[in-house]
Amino acid sequence: MKILSSLLLMLILFSCNAQARESDLTEILYTTYEDHKENSLEKRRIKYADLQPLIEQYASNPKFQVNKVGESIEGRDLNLISIGNGSIDVFLWSQMHGNEPTATQAIFDILNFLDSKFNVQEKREIFGKLRIHFLPMLNPDGAEVFQRRNTLGIDINRDALRLQSPEGRALKRVRDSLEADFGFNLHDQSIYYNAELTPKPATISYLAPAYNYEKDINDVRGNAIKVIGFMNDIIQKYAPGQVGRYNDDFEPRAFGDNIQKWGTSTILIESGGFADDIEKQEIRKLNYVSILSAIYTIARGSYNSISLDTYWAIPENDRKLFDLKLEEVGYNLLGKDYILDLGIHLQEVDDEIHSDFWYKARISDQGDLSTYYGYKTLNAKGYMVREGKVYDQVLESLEDLNDASALNLLDEGYVYVRVKNLPKDQVFSPYPVHVISENYKLPELKLAVGQNPTFFLEYDGELKYVVMNGFLIDLETGPGSVRMNGLLLR
Ligand SMILES: [Zn+2]
- Give 312-353 as a DSSP string: HTSPBEE--EEEEEEEEEEEEETTEEEEEEEEEEEEEEE-TT
In this prediction, residue 16 has a pLDDT band, given cuts at 50, 70 and 90, of very low
Q: Averaged over 304-323, what is the pLDDT?
A: 97
In the reported structure, the alpha carbon of residue 96 is separated from the centroid of ligand 1 by a whole-number distance in angstroms of 7
In the reported structure, the alpha carbon of residue 248 is separated from the centroid of ligand 1 by a whole-number distance in angstroms of 15
In the reported structure, the alpha carbon of residue 107 is separated from the centroid of ligand 1 by a whole-number distance in angstroms of 16
- The mean predicted confidence, pLDDT, of the chain is 95
In the reported structure, the alpha carbon of residue 99 is separated from the centroid of ligand 1 by a whole-number distance in angstroms of 8
Q: Of 54, 39, 13, 24, give the one whose Cα is nearest residue 119.
A: 24
The domains of the chain are located at 25-318, 321-489
Q: What angle do CA 115, 120, 123 make, to 5 degrees?
A: 70
Is the pLDDT confidence value at 108 over 70? yes
* The pLDDT value given to residue 259: 98
pLDDT in tens, 347-403: 999 999 999 999 999 999 999 999 999 999 999 999 999 999 999 999 999 999 999
pLDDT in tens, 50-61: 999 999 999 999
Is the pLDDT confidence value at 9 over 80? no
pLDDT in tens, 446-460: 999 999 999 999 999
Element (H, E) at 390: strand 389-397
Q: Averaged over 171-191, what is the pLDDT?
A: 98
* The pLDDT value given to residue 18: 38
Q: What is 25-318's CATH topology? A: Aminopeptidase (3.40.630)
- Say if residue 413 is exposed, middle or buried (CB neighbours under 10 Å; 0-12, 13-18, 19+): middle
pLDDT in tens, 232-243: 999 999 999 999
* The pLDDT value given to residue 10: 52
Cα separation, 169 vs 147, in Å, equals 20
Q: Averaged over 135-157, what is the pLDDT?
A: 98
Q: Averaged over 464-488, what is the pLDDT?
A: 96
* The pLDDT value given to residue 21: 43
In the reported structure, the alpha carbon of residue 271 is separated from the centroid of ligand 1 by a whole-number distance in angstroms of 9
The percentage of residues in the chain with a pLDDT greater than 90, rounded to a whole number, is 94
* The pLDDT value given to residue 5: 54
CATH 1.10.8.190 fits 321-489, yes or no: no
In the reported structure, the alpha carbon of residue 281 is separated from the centroid of ligand 1 by a whole-number distance in angstroms of 18
In the reported structure, the alpha carbon of residue 246 is separated from the centroid of ligand 1 by a whole-number distance in angstroms of 12
Q: Averaged over 283-294, what is the pLDDT?
A: 98
In the reported structure, the alpha carbon of residue 148 is separated from the centroid of ligand 1 by a whole-number distance in angstroms of 7
In the reported structure, the alpha carbon of residue 49 is separated from the centroid of ligand 1 by a whole-number distance in angstroms of 21
* The pLDDT value given to residue 159: 98
Rounded to 10°, the helix 102-115/281-300 angle is 50
Q: Kindly state the DSSP code that residue 398 receives in the 8-state scheme.
A: G
* The pLDDT value given to residue 24: 83
In this prediction, residue 14 has a pLDDT band, given cuts at 50, 70 and 90, of very low
In the reported structure, the alpha carbon of residue 373 is separated from the centroid of ligand 1 by a whole-number distance in angstroms of 24
pLDDT in tens, 418-473: 999 999 999 999 999 999 999 999 999 999 999 999 999 999 999 999 999 999 99
Return the exposure string of 444-466: e unless at least 16 CB atoms fall within 10 Å of the residue's CB, then b: eeebeeeebbbbbbbeeeebebb
In the reported structure, the alpha carbon of residue 93 is separated from the centroid of ligand 1 by a whole-number distance in angstroms of 11
